[in-house]
């Protein structure tokens, strides 16, 4: 298990930031995300399926979908499994297993984007559809899906959409649109950042976390639709 802070700080996992100095941030680092050939094969088959069409949806809620991610921090590796356990109306309940540390993630789609929060108490499973989203819920992605769309997070952290022109190439020579979302952290004077990548029709496919110059990457390894 990776000892360092490699928990996906956002959505996961899956999060991103906004700051006046964002123009000084490095260009997209999407090429550092190493999506496995197995994942690309699976995504290609899903994209070709006539009953699987979610173009423009950067986090489809499909019950039973299992995402496996590989986390790399130097020579250290870890695994995160994200299972969409239940779906009701515009909400999804996701079981996130970070090398044995399990949490519940609740995501909600609304007119403003993808809202979510993490619940540490697994006993609350299946109870999260009946109550309002907590005040500390945060938007992982927010409309409109355009470059430089920014919003604030609790604690004065910043999140923004930094690139909407990325592409994920499939085995059939087709491409899926990918957006990059950046989160910058006030406690680090906005120097540390998390870059997250969402592919249309698929969801969260990877991230890059820069903590004081130390890089942790998260990359989609497999995706299974049961």
**What tens digit of pLDDT does each residue of 167-220 get?**
999 988 889 899 999 999 887 777 889 999 999 889 999 999 999 889 999 999
Q: Determine if residue 36 is left, alpha or beta; phi over 0 gives left, psi from -120 to 50 gives alpha, anything else beta.
A: beta
Residue 72's Cβ-count burial label (10 Å; 0-12, 13-18, 19+) is middle
Q: 145 or 48: which carries more pLDDT confidence?
A: 145
pLDDT at 125: 56
Q: How many residues does the chain have?
A: 226
Residue 45 CB: number of other CB atoms within 10 A? 15
If you compute the radius of gyration of the chain from its CA atoms, what whole number of angstroms results? 16
Interatomic CA distance for residues 116 and 154, integer angstroms:
13
Q: State pTM to two decimals.
A: 0.82
pLDDT digits (tens, 9 = 90+) for 34-82: 899 999 998 888 777 755 556 568 999 999 999 999 999 988 899 999 9
- The pLDDT of residue 17 is above 50: no
pLDDT at 3: 42
Q: 52 or 22: which carries more pLDDT confidence?
A: 52
| Strands, E assignment, the chain | 65-73, 76-88, 91-98, 101-110, 113-119, 138-142, 150-152, 158-169, 175-184, 193-199, 203-211, 214-225
Confidence of residue 106 (pLDDT cuts 50, 70, 90): very high
pLDDT at 35: 92
- The pLDDT of residue 14 is above 60: no
Who contacts 49 (Cβ-Cβ below 8 Å, separation ≥6)? none
Interatomic CA distance for residues 35 and 29, integer angstroms:
13
Interatomic CA distance for residues 87 and 94, integer angstroms:
9
Mean pLDDT within 121-148: 79
Among the listed residues 203, 159, 195, the one whose alpha carbon sits nearest the alpha carbon of residue 177: 203
CB 85 within 8 A of CB 9: no
pLDDT digits (tens, 9 = 90+) for 115-131: 999 987 666 555 666 67
Q: 16 or 225: which carries more pLDDT confidence?
A: 225
Mean pLDDT within 95-100: 91
Q: 188 or 108: which carries more pLDDT confidence?
A: 108
- The pLDDT of residue 85 is above 90: yes
pLDDT at 68: 97
Residue 2 CB: number of other CB atoms within 10 A? 17
pLDDT at 123: 63
Residue 116's Cβ-count burial label (10 Å; 0-12, 13-18, 19+) is buried
Helix (H, G, I), strand (E, B) or coil at 93: strand
| Strands, E assignment, 25-132 | 65-73, 76-88, 91-98, 101-110, 113-119
Element (H, E) at 211: strand 203-211
pLDDT at 16: 32
Domains along the sequence of the chain with CATH? 20-225 (2.40.360)
Phi, psi of 38 (to 5 degrees): -60, -40
């Amino acid at each position: 298990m990776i000892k360092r802070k490699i928990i996906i700080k956002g959505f996961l996992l899956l999060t991103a930031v906004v700051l006046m100095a964002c123009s000084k941030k490095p260009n997209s680092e999407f090429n550092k995300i190493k999506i496995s050939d197995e994942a690309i094969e699976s995504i290609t088959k899903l994209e070709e399926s006539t009953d699987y069409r979610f173009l423009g949806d950067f986090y489809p809620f499909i019950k039973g979908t299992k995402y496996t991610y590989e986390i790399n921090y130097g020579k250290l590796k870890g695994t995160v499994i994200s299972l969409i356990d239940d779906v009701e109306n515009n909400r999804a309940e996701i079981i996130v297993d970070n090398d044995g540390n399990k949490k519940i993630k609740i995501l909600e789609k609304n007119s403003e984007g993808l809202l979510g929060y993490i619940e540490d108490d697994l006993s609350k499973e299946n109870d999260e559809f009946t109550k309002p989203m907590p005040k500390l819920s945060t938007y992982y992605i927010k409309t409109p899906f355009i470059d430089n769309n920014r919003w604030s997070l609790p604690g004065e952290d910043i999140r923004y959409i930094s690139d909407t022109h990325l592409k994920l190439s499939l085995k059939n020579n087709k491409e899926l649109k990918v957006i990059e979302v950046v989160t910058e952290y006030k406690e680090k004077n906005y120097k540390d950042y998390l870059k997250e990548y969402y592919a249309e029709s698929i969801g969260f496919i990877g991230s890059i976390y820069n903590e004081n110059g130390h890089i942790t990457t998260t990359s989609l390894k497999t995706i299974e639709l049961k």
